[in-house]
Amino acid sequence: MYIIEKAPAKINLTLDVLYKRPDQYHEVEMVMTTVDLADRLEFFLLEEDKIEIASDNRFVPNDERNLAYRAAKLLKDRYQIKQGVRIKIDKQIPVAAGLAGGSSDAAATFRGLNRLWDLDISLDDLAVLGAEIGSDVSFCVYNSTALAKGRGENITELPAPPQCWVVLAKPVQGVSTQSVYQSLKLNDIEHPDTEGMVHAIQEGDYQGVCHRLKNVLEAVTLPKKPEVTQIKNQMLQSGADAVLMSGSGPTVFALVQQETRADRIYNSLRGFCDEVYVVRLLGSQQKLD
């Protein structure tokens, strides 16, 4: 018996850092949404009490460092499951890209094993468990659009943003999320209008969403990776309505309403950037095929 679960990527429409907490985590406020670029995970029941990870992507660890492994281990321990599982990860989301690929795999593992092991855990409870694995896992449990606070685990779901095309472009080298946060100068932050973004989404105001795209981590990553600015400029010249770096980067995304413009942006980046994708917003808790 086996189960299939998709693990879609997320993008940040806003990312704000408020302060550094005594526990050393940063207090953040982020509006995030989900796009239909997804890893595909297969879960095979094993009678033997073990967790196996198989992935053919050389950047993805096949052991306990994998976030999917950690999600499976957490569920096994918490619910005293004696059966084992083999998790096959078909990686489509670029790694270390600011698209929460690892976190989404962990969330998909929760959802998949919830079904495989017949645990009947609610999404809200899985989201609480997710915070033990990583700050973005709780958001990824829902595959939706949300305002995330705290260190990212405090989730308020929002309606789907106005539908549009999203062009994602990932420069060759990834970045370490931890080092980006460490280099952020907290006294020198131009904060996004998070409340305005939430309002624009609630009103279905596409232009309002475009005007309020803002990520404070660009201040760290852009000077270190000039190609990120080059890609942003290229996207704008090719007709993007708005562009932003997602998460700690280096992936940049463009929003556009017309498919022909999305194609134009895609074509303009060929040869300039290897990993480019044209995708749709997934909206709120929509199922992937």
Greatest distance between any 2 Cα atoms in the chain: 56
**Nearest-angstrom CA–CA distance, 154 and 66:** 23
| CB closer to ligand ATP out of 61 and 283 | 61
**170 burial type by CB count under 10 A (0-12 exposed, 13-18 middle, 19+ buried):** buried
Residues in the chain: 289
| CB closer to ligand ATP out of 113 and 208 | 113
The residue from 16, 36, 136, 241 that is catalytic is: 136
Residues 221-260, mask of contacts with ligand ATP (x by CB under 6 A)? --------------------------xx------------
| CB closer to ligand ATP out of 114 and 251 | 251
Structure tokens at 158: 């929002």
Long-range contact set of residues 58-66: C-beta below 8 Å, sequence gap at least 24? 59/95, 59/96, 59/174, 60/89, 60/91, 60/95, 66/102, 66/105
Among 97, 200, 228, 255, binds ligand ATP (CB under 6 A): 97
136 binds ligand ATP (CB under 6 A): yes
Q: How far is the CB of 106 from ligand ATP (least distance, A)?
A: 7
60 binds ligand ATP (CB under 6 A): yes
Structure tokens at 185: 């100068």
Task: Phi first, then psi: give them for residue 181, nearest 5 degrees.
Answer: -60, -40
Looking at the DSSP assignment, which residues form a beta bridge with residue 19?
27
Please check whether residue 273 is in contact with residue 168, taking contact to mean a CB–CB distance below 8 angstroms: no
Q: How far is the CB of 94 from ligand ATP (least distance, A)?
A: 7
283 binds ligand ATP (CB under 6 A): no
- Binding segment (CB under 6 A) for ligand ATP, from list 58-66, 160-168, 236-244, 268-276: 58-66
| CB closer to ligand ATP out of 50 and 65 | 65
For this structure, is 136 an active site residue? yes
Enumerate residues 12-51 that contact ligand ATP by CB under 6 A: none
Interface ranges with ligand ATP (CB under 6 A): 60-61, 65-68, 89, 95-103, 105, 136, 177, 247-248
